[in-house]
């Protein structure tokens, strides 16, 4: 505001100054040299003040704090865990922190330090901000919102001083939850480039995190879509040492989220929320909230007294059209291919018993359209040749399953093939596990005639693993169908549910 006023004054005086040189009628008949000099000085002074207003960190700090205050005002309507649908495991995980904030004496008496730095990571719009503000709601503490990008400045030291004032403010408002969204804006690995402003900001944040054990009752929550970019120092014990993944919702959670957002909205009787949840595969909570809102707007526009299926369909279409990540929009046919692909990985993995299987999912996760999560039952330092071959079989089982069921293969196995090739290459070139003998083939320290032989060995390992995986699946086809069908209806299956399917079929 102040800067704009200065600019307007500058322009007015400049116009008067210029006009004094052209003796425009009687108005300026007194335009003496003195007046001209006075106006020139005035303009120079104004330029000086405008530049100062642009540079002055304090001014910017005040404006950023005002922004923060605005955000706080808007968050005055408290959010509770009930407003966050799904994410049951995460909420359970957070109970301990909530208990600590409610009864700090209980923990202090035992000398127990609760992890107070939490990092939420995962795709955008999945409820990270919502969850953080629900923690403040549940503990009846203040919520301080900041975004990493607010601390990114050209002028060295400004970001660091904003971090300092953020924590000072938190100390004054304790008990409170500090939420820093877009952590990657300040927390990217310091070695990646030479940016001394960002390094100073990050260092200041580390200092505050280390110092804040002394403060009472402050929880700091960071959020990022890209945890792998963050500086390791930030994720170390005592800092953001709890890392909680918040992924896209599965069909049941989507139903719950839709219900939260449809609360208090008039619906046509034939609207089926379960069906809406099925239609919105791959969408985040933010997309679902958006769909409900769009549908309500459509209904108002058409003068309906309640929201009907037609409005929901239009809203889904509109939100899907706006999606940047088109991979999130998956057709029924693709969903089926993904389900059989993941079922293939899980079944071969389970039968070979490489690792216990913790979760199978066809909910998109980053670039992957589905995934099988192995729960390693023990830390492994050694792997046998047989185990490595079995791992490759599990990797190739996704494609094998697609080939068996659809008589066709898809691009979905790209990553699996890359990993399998890498493992086979290591077996031949690093572990001496091929007919080429107990030797390595590293750093080109071998004659060029070996290149062909190495390739042949890698191909042999991969071909035989693929054949084995296919045979396992063909011998257990009923299980494959059962797992894939379950995935199509539920989208995620736990390890225990997998065991149930295998027993029942
Ligand atoms: N689990 C959920 N339950 C209810 N609403 C949800 C849920 N997840 C997301 N939403 C809706 O989506 C909106 C955006 O979510 P939020 O801002 O918390 O996402 P985010 O993970 O912080 O996103 P980003 O990574 O882009 O900052 C919320 O305000 C809410 O309306
Ligand atoms: Zn795969």
Banded model confidence at residue 228, pLDDT cuts 50, 70, 90:
confident
Instruction: Specify the DSSP element, H or E, that contains 214.
Output: none
pLDDT average, residue stretch 169-182: 90
Mean pLDDT of 207-216: 73
* 224 and 105 assigned to the same domain: yes
Quote the pLDDT of residue 360: 93
For the CA of 87, the closest atom of ligand 1 is 1
Residues in contact with 308: Cβ distance below 8 Å, sequence separation at least 6, in sequence order: 267, 268, 270, 271, 299
Residue 24: per-residue pLDDT? 56
Mean pLDDT of 332-339: 92
Task: Examine the fold and report which residue of 325, 343, 361 is the final residue of a domain before the chain moves on.
Answer: 325
Residues 75 and 39 in one domain: no
Looking at the fold, whether 270 and 346 belong to one and the same domain comes out as: no
Neighbours of 1 (CB within 10 A): 7
Residue nearest to atom 12 of ligand 1 (CA): 286
Q: What is the CATH number of the domain that holds 89?
A: 3.40.50.300
From 11, 32, 55, the end of a domain falls on 55
149 and 197 share one domain? yes
Lowest mean pLDDT, pick from 18-27, 311-320, 368-377? 18-27
More confident residue, 32 or 493: 493
Q: Please give all residues whose beta carbon lies within 6 A of any atom in ligand 1, as ranges.
A: 84-87, 124-130, 181, 223, 225, 257, 260, 285-286, 289
CATH number at residue 257: 1.10.8.60
Pair 108, 231 in one domain = yes
Nearest ligand for residue 345 CA: 2
Instruction: Examine the fold and report which residue of 35, 55, 75 is the final residue of a domain before the chain moves on.
Output: 55
- Is there a single domain that holds both residue 281 and residue 351? no
Of residues 439 and 64, the one with the higher pLDDT is: 439
**Per-residue pLDDT tens over the stretch 235-279:** 888 888 889 999 889 889 999 999 999 998 999 998 999 989 988
* Predicted-complex ipTM score: 0.95
In order, the DSSP letters of 258-313 are HHHHHTT--B-TT--HHHHHHHTTT--HHHHHHHHHHHHHHHHHTT-SSB-HHHHH
Rounded to the nearest angstrom, the distance between the alpha carbon of 494 and the centre of ligand 2 is 17
The whole-model pTM stands at 0.69
Count of structural domains within the chain: 4
The residue among 44 and 406 whose pLDDT is bigger is: 406
- Per-residue pLDDT band for 53 (boundaries 50, 70, 90) equals low
Query: What is the reported pLDDT for 371?
Result: 87
Query: Does residue 215 have a pLDDT over 60?
Result: no
Which tens digit of pLDDT belongs to each residue from 341-352?
A: 999 999 999 999
Closest approach atom of ligand 1 to CA 85: 3
pLDDT at site 325: 54
**Domain shared by 130 and 218, yes or no:** yes
For residues 87-105, average pLDDT = 86
pLDDT above 60: residue 447: yes
Binding residues: 122-129, 341, 345, 416
| Strands annotated E in 69-208 | 117-121, 142-147, 176-181
SS (H, E, C) 447-494: CCCHHHHHHHHHHHHHHHHHHHHHHHHHHCHHHHHHHHHHHHHHCEEE
Torsion of CA 403, 408, 413, 417, to 10 degrees: 70
Q: Are residues 316 and 220 in the same domain?
A: no
pLDDT reading at 87 higher than 80 = yes
Query: 370 and 288, same structural domain?
Result: no
For the cut 70, the answer to whether the pLDDT of residue 428 exceeds it is yes
| Cα separation, 355 vs 405, whole angstroms | 25
The closest ligand to the CA of 134 turns out to be 1
Q: Which helix (H) or strand (E) holds 112?
A: none
Helix %, strand %, coil % of the chain (to 5): 60, 10, 30
Binding-site entries for Zn(2+): 341, 345, 416
Do 341 and 455 fall into the same domain?
Answer: yes
Mean residue pLDDT of the chain comes to 84
Q: Whose CA is nearest to atom 30 of ligand 1?
A: 286
Cβ count within 10 A of residue 5: 12
Higher pLDDT, residue 447 or 83: 83
Q: What would the mean pLDDT of 463-485 be, rounded to a whole number?
A: 97
Residue ranges at the known binding site for ATP: 122-129
319 and 371 inside one domain:
no
**pLDDT range class, residue 73, cuts 50, 70, 90:** very low
More confident residue, 422 or 107: 422
Is it the case that residue 13 has pLDDT exceeding 90?
no
Cα distance between residue 439 and residue 490, in whole Å:
48
Ligand 1 centre to CA of 458 (Å) is 46
Give yes or no for residue 451 having a pLDDT over 90: no
Query: Which pLDDT value is given to residue 74?
Result: 44
Residue 488 has pLDDT above 90, yes or no: yes
* Position in ligand 1 atom list of the atom nearest CA 84: 3
- How far does the centroid of ligand 2 lie from the alpha carbon of residue 422, in Å? 15
- Determine the distance separating the centroid of ligand 1 and the alpha carbon of 43, expressed in angstroms: 50
pLDDT class for 214, splitting at 50, 70, 90? low
Instruction: Please indicate, yes or no, whether residues 320 and 338 belong to a single structural domain of this protein.
Output: no
156 vs 204 pLDDT, higher one: 204
What is the per-residue pLDDT for 70? Answer: 43
Q: In whole angstroms, what is the distance from residue 342 CA to residue 330 CA? A: 15
Determine the residue of 123, 127, 147, 224 to mutate for testing ligand 1's pocket, defined as the one with the most ligand atoms within 8 A of the Cβ atom.
127
Distance 462 CA to ligand 2 centre (A): 15
- Indicate if 342 belongs to the active site: yes
Nearest C-alpha to atom 10 of ligand 1 is from which residue?
285
Q: Return the ligand 1 atom nearest residue 181 CA.
A: 27
- The domain in which residue 221 lies consists of 58-245
Task: Examine the pLDDT at 18 and tell me if it is beyond 60.
Answer: yes
Catalytic residue among 68, 138, 342, 403: 342
The ligand whose atoms approach the alpha carbon of 180 most closely is 1
Could you tell me the CATH number of the domain that includes residue 462? 1.20.58.760
Look at ligand 1, atom 11, and give the residue with the nearest C-alpha: 286
């Amino acid at each position: 505001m102040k800067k704009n006023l200065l600019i307007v004054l500058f322009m007015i005086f400049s116009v008067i100054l210029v006009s004094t040189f052209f003796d425009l009628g009687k108005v300026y008949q007194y335009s003496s040299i003195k007046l001209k000099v006075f106006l020139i000085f005035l303009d120079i002074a104004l330029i000086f003040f405008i530049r100062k207003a642009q540079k002055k960190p304090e001014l910017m700090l005040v404006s950023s704090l005002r922004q923060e205050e605005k955000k706080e005002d808007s968050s005055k309507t408290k959010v509770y865990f009930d407003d966050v649908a799904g994410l049951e495991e995460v909420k359970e995980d957070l109970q301990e922190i909530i208990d600590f904030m409610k009864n700090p004496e209980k923990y202090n008496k035992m000398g127990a330090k609760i992890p107070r730095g939490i990092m939420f990571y995962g795709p955008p719009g999945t409820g990270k901000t919502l969850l953080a503000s629900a923690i403040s709601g549940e503990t009846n503490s203040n919520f301080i919102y900041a975004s990493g990008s607010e601390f990114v400045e050209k002028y060295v030291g400004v970001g660091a001083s904003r971090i300092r004032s953020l924590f000072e403010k938190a100390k004054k408002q304790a008990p409170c939850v500090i939420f820093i969204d877009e952590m990657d804006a300040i927390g990217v690995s310091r070695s990646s480039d030479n940016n001394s402003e960002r390094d100073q900001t990050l260092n200041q944040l580390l200092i505050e995190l280390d110092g804040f054990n002394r403060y009472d009752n402050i929880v700091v929550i960071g959020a990022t879509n890209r945890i792998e970019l963050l500086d390791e120092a930030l994720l170390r014990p005592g800092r953001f040492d709890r890392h909680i993944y918040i992924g896209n919702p599965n069909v049941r959670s989507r139903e719950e989220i839709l219900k939260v957002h449809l609360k208090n909205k008039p619906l046509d009787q034939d609207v089926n929320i379960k069906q809406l949840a099925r239609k919105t595969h791959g969408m985040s909570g933010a997309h679902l909230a958006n769909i409900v809102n769009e549908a309500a707007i459509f209904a108002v526009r058409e003068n309906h007294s309640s929201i009907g299926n037609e409005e929901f369909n239009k809203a889904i279409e509109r939100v899907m059209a706006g999606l940047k990540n088109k991979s999130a929009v998956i057709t029924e046919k693709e969903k089926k291919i993904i389900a059989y692909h993941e079922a293939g990985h899980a079944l071969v993995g389970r039968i070979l018993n490489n690792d216990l299987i913790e979760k199978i999912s066809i909910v998109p996760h980053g670039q992957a359209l589905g995934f099988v999560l192995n729960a390693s039952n023990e830390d492994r330092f050694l792997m046998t040749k047989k185990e490595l071959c079995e791992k490759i079989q599990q990797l190739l089982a996704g494609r094998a399953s697609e080939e068996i069921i659809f008589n066709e293969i898809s691009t979905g196995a790209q990553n699996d093939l890359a990993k399998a090739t890498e493992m086979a290459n290591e077996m031949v070139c690093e572990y001496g596990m091929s007919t080429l003998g107990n030797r390595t083939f590293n750093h080109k320290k071998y004659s060029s005639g070996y290149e062909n032989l190495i390739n042949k060995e890698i191909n042999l390992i991969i071909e035989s693993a693929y054949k084995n995986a296919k045979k396992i699946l063909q011998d257990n086809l009923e299980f494959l169908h059962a797992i894939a069908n379950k995935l199509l209806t539920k989208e995620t299956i736990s390890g225990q549910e997998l065991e149930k399917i295998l027993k029942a079929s």
